[in-house]
Amino acid sequence: MTEPTFEGVLAAARRIEAHAHRTPVMSSRTLDAELGATVHLKCENLQRMGAFKFRGAFNALASLDPSRRKAGVVAFSSGNHAQAIALSASLLDMPATILMPHDAPAAKVAATRGYGGKVVVYDRYREDREQIGRALAERDGLTLIPPYDHPDVICGQGTAARELFEQAGELDALFVPLGGGGLLSGSALVRAALAPDCQLYGVEPEAGDDGQRSLRSGSIVHIDTPRTIADGAQTQHLGTLTFPIIRREVTDILTASDAELVDTMRFLAERMKLVVEPTGCLGLAAARRMGAQLRGKRVGVLLSGGNVDMARFAELLAAS
Ligand SMILES: *Cc1c(COP(=O)(O)O)cnc(C)c1O
């Protein structure tokens, strides 16, 4: 395994080209008027399996050598990474085992099985998923693919920002949702190579501001699992690969509150007919909060995913 680089992003783009969607970039006059800016929204909610995670997962699996491919992969996640690994493995004709907590939403378990993944359930209060994952990997010769701290995952995620720069042209600022930092560090490699003058902001949930604190303090801050509706960004710390890139390249890390996420989710649904999950709204929520500072600028935003159960979607909108 090698350090993630821009060349790695270009190689990932070639690997995923025939399988991933080149998602559309959309705009809204209402949004442009609100911010006094030109805003380009990269719609990864319309990516295969509903989130950018497909990019990194497919790139990581497609990079494995034939013997490793044959043995299969294992991943632990109850969210988009699990579905991305299950779908990518089935496209590449590889067996995939996904470790999920016993109380994972039935819809997510069903979706992972639907993509051909073998689901192994563990007790999240009594068992350590990393330990189980490693034990399974060792016993059956499986390759463990982590959700963000992996060079091929980071390079795969970077392909979304590369497409955005191609589709939207020059940008003055780019807003990217932040959990463990795979998407942000991949975007940072692209920005450094293609648009060094573009400001780059990572955006995390207000309740889980470990990234912001890590950037300020200069070392990785660990927190308890944050309580937030942004379930794709409930990470406890940045990665040892993602943090140095973020620290070197990112302009700042901002936060958005759950109320701002719901407000942005409603705006995207009502005005643009886009279903975006709470985590996917982080970037746009922060851009809207920044407001006047963006006046006259060309702004890019990654809408990172759209996997929200419709009952949950309605409940969140009704409650605010
Ligand atoms: C995983 C995920 C994120 C966070 O990505 P990281 O690479 O962990 O920072 C953001 N949005 C969605 C929809 C996700 O699934």
Measure the CA–CA gap between 41 and 174, rounded to whole angstroms.
10
Query: For residue 59, how far is its CA from the centre of ligand 1 (angstroms)?
Result: 16
Query: For residue 235, how far is its CA from the centre of ligand 1 (angstroms)?
Result: 9
Query: pLDDT higher for 102 or 30?
Result: 30
Q: Does 313 have pLDDT greater than 60?
A: yes
Provide, rounded to the nearest whole percent, the portion of the chain with pLDDT above 90.
Answer: 84
What's the mean pLDDT when you consider all of the chain?
Answer: 95
For the CA of 306, the closest atom of ligand 1 is 13
Query: For residue 177, how far is its CA from the centre of ligand 1 (angstroms)?
Result: 7
End-to-end Cα separation, the chain, in angstroms: 46
**Catalytic residue from among 206, 210, 231, 258:** 210
Q: Does 53 have pLDDT greater than 90?
A: yes
Kindly report, residue by residue over 192-212, the tens digit of the pLDDT. Answer: 999 999 999 999 999 999 999
247 residue type, one letter: R
34: enclosing H helix or E strand? helix 29-35
Which residue's C-alpha comes closest to atom 2 of ligand 1? 232
User: What band does 128 get if pLDDT is binned at 50, 70 and 90?
Assistant: confident
User: For the whole model, what pTM was predicted?
Assistant: 0.96
Which pLDDT does position 131 carry in this prediction? 87
Q: How far are the Cα atoms of 30, 40, 292 from residue 33, in angstroms, in the given order?
A: 5, 13, 11
**Catalytic residue from among 158, 179, 180, 208:** 208
Q: Does 124 have pLDDT greater than 80?
A: no
Mean pLDDT of 208-232: 95
Mean pLDDT of 219-234: 93
Which pLDDT does position 79 carry in this prediction? 86
User: What band does 111 get if pLDDT is binned at 50, 70 and 90?
Assistant: confident
Residues lining ligand 1, judged by CB closer than 6 Å? 51, 53, 79-80, 147-148, 157, 177-184, 232-233, 235, 277, 279-280, 304-305
User: What band does 123 get if pLDDT is binned at 50, 70 and 90?
Assistant: confident
Probe residue for ligand 1, chosen from 81, 178, 235 as the CB with the greatest number of ligand atoms within 8 Å? 178
Q: What angle do CA 123, 98, 94 make, to 5 degrees?
A: 160
Measure the CA–CA gap between 103 and 137, rounded to whole angstroms.
23
Kindly report, residue by residue over 54-100, the tens digit of the pLDDT. Answer: 999 999 999 999 999 999 999 988 789 999 999 999 999 999 999 98
Q: Does 1 have pLDDT greater than 60?
A: no
> Is 172 among the catalytic positions?
no
Which pLDDT does position 32 carry in this prediction? 98
Which residue's C-alpha comes closest to atom 7 of ligand 1? 182
For the CA of 186, the closest atom of ligand 1 is 7
Kindly report, residue by residue over 235-247, the tens digit of the pLDDT. Answer: 899 999 999 999 9
Which pLDDT does position 143 carry in this prediction? 95
| Beta carbons within 8 Å of 146's beta carbon, 6+ residues apart | 75, 153, 239
User: What band does 11 get if pLDDT is binned at 50, 70 and 90?
Assistant: very high
> Is 78 among the catalytic positions?
yes
Token readout for 13 is 């783009």
> Is 224 among the catalytic positions?
no
